[in-house]
Structure 1
Amino acid sequence: MHHPILIVEDEPKIAALLGDYLHNAGFETTHLDRGDQVEDWLAQHTPALILLDIMLPGKDGLELCKSIRRRRDTPIIMVTARVEEIDRLLGLELGADDYICKPFSPREVVARVKTVLRRLQPGTAPADDLSLDEAGYRATIKGRQLDLTAVEFKLLKMLADQPGRIFSRSQLMDTMYTDHRIVSDRTVDSHIKKLRKKIAERVPERELIHSVYGVGYKYEALVED
């Protein structure tokens, strides 16, 4: 059974464009143009993923994201023209799986939808031949060992366990330091820089850990469509 992609967008032209591209990619879609329609619809339906605009009449996307997350774990990609860092971080901390900023390429949206759904598929094989031994804090990629510190291992595991998901620096800091010590964003950036360098020594043909401007970082696996 194919569950639809729910598009929550109050601009008809954008909603129609997203619907057309998703249909061409083989997805079914349903469109709602008001935030206060969403929860009643979700009580009767189970979408595969929700494309959720932030600026909506009736109820805004951030409120909706928080409310939906209390009841279900349906993946949510937030769509917004508001690029302020606080909105991005707030959306992610409320449980959004990814962010797309207007104006956007419809092809990019389809690619993001596929990435999020792919990582949620049960039994998905580890990408890039990446192997993580949590007990021994050992990591190998393409059969070659990565010489990682404990902090670098924790960062890599958090990112690679959910490829495509954007993690804010505060989320990564909580993983790095469970004692909740006060560290700066620069500390996270420094560890990520070192981790990237070590991965590049093993797979120089592709950067796997990507910066997301104003938000944080994500791991993009080498998976072919």
Structure 2
Amino acid sequence: MVKILLIEDDLEISDLLTQYLSRYQMEVISYAHPKSALASLGIESYDLVLLDLTLPDMDGLDVCKALRERSDIPIIISSARSDLGDKVIALELGADDYLPKPYEPRELVARIQSLLRRINGKTIQASSEMFRVDETGIYKEGELLPLTRAEFELLALLIKHRRQIISRDFIANNVESIQWESSERSIDVLISRIRQKIEANPKHPTLIRSIRGMGYQFTL
């Protein structure tokens, strides 16, 4: 299911979009206040942001800038502000699309699906170019990684479920080399060792993210 962060202070619009998008297997998490929405990025994992420009406490263009500074998450601006300058600035700040209000909800669905297809296509291509998994091992940019059996099984699982958040329980049940009774500690140790071998900066990992209270996500 696609998970969308909606930043919109009109509660009626928020409720309508939540109900409508659910028909298309899209879960909407909505915030009226942008600062709360930005704070949630450190806790939740989203596939896309739907952002209004007229918001309390913080202008939507500033929110767009803050989002792009923190993440490469796809952003669609949805706003009644008709100033061409706003659209140009939003796109320059890193928004991926701009949909003026009012609009037909089905058009929004089409734009979301189109944007995610493009983003996911690039992600899978980038992942396949950087990492390759076969019966001989896992290769990063053409070089065989020196992995133990447990590291291989865990990294292969993460790559297979790229961009999904997978829990420790899921890992424990799908990595044969991990003993259940010591699985939580074993997983943390394995993740740390894998990061040492694939991350540019293991102390600030970008390929394997820790999602607090949920598990891990392979980002490519």
Q: Which runs of structure 1 show a deviation greater than 3 angstroms over 4 or more consecutive aligned residues?
A: 122-125
Q: Can you list the C-alpha shifts for 1:72-103, whole angstroms capped at 9, x where unaligned? A: 10000001111111001000000000011111
TM-score, normalised by the number of residues in structure 2: 0.54
CA distance in 1, matches of 2:119, 2:7: 21
The CA deviation at 1:122 is 3.2
Q: Which residue of 1 is the match for residue 90 of structure 2?
A: 91
Give the equivalent residue in structure 2 for 1:10: 9
TM-score normalized with structure 1 length: 0.53
Q: Which runs of 5+ in 1 are unaligned?
A: 126-225
Contact kept in structure 2, 1:36 and 1:57, CA below 8 Å: no
3-state SS, counterpart of residue 120 of structure 1: helix
Deviation at 1:124? 8.8
Overall identity of the aligned pairs, in %: 41
Q: How does 1:1-225 map to 2 (within 5 A)?
A: 2=1, 4-122=3-121
Q: Structure 2: which 5+ residue stretches go unaligned?
A: 125-220
Cα distance change on mapping 1:105 and 1:87 into 2, 3 Å: same
* Matched residue count: 125
Instruction: Encode CA deviations 1:165-214: one digit per residue, 9 max, x unaligned.
Output: xxxxxxxxxxxxxxxxxxxxxxxxxxxxxxxxxxxxxxxxxxxxxxxxxx
User: What is the RMSD of the two structures over their aligned residues, measured on CA atoms?
Assistant: 1.9
Q: What's the secondary structure of 1:100's corresponding residue?
A: strand
SS at match of 1:51: strand
Structure 1 distance, partners of 2:67, 2:122, is: 26
Structure showing greater Rg: 2
Alpha-carbon distance between aligned partners in 1 of 2:2 and 2:57, rounded to the nearest angstrom = 25
CA distance in 2, matches of 1:124, 1:47: 15
Aligned partner of residue 50 in structure 1, secondary structure: strand
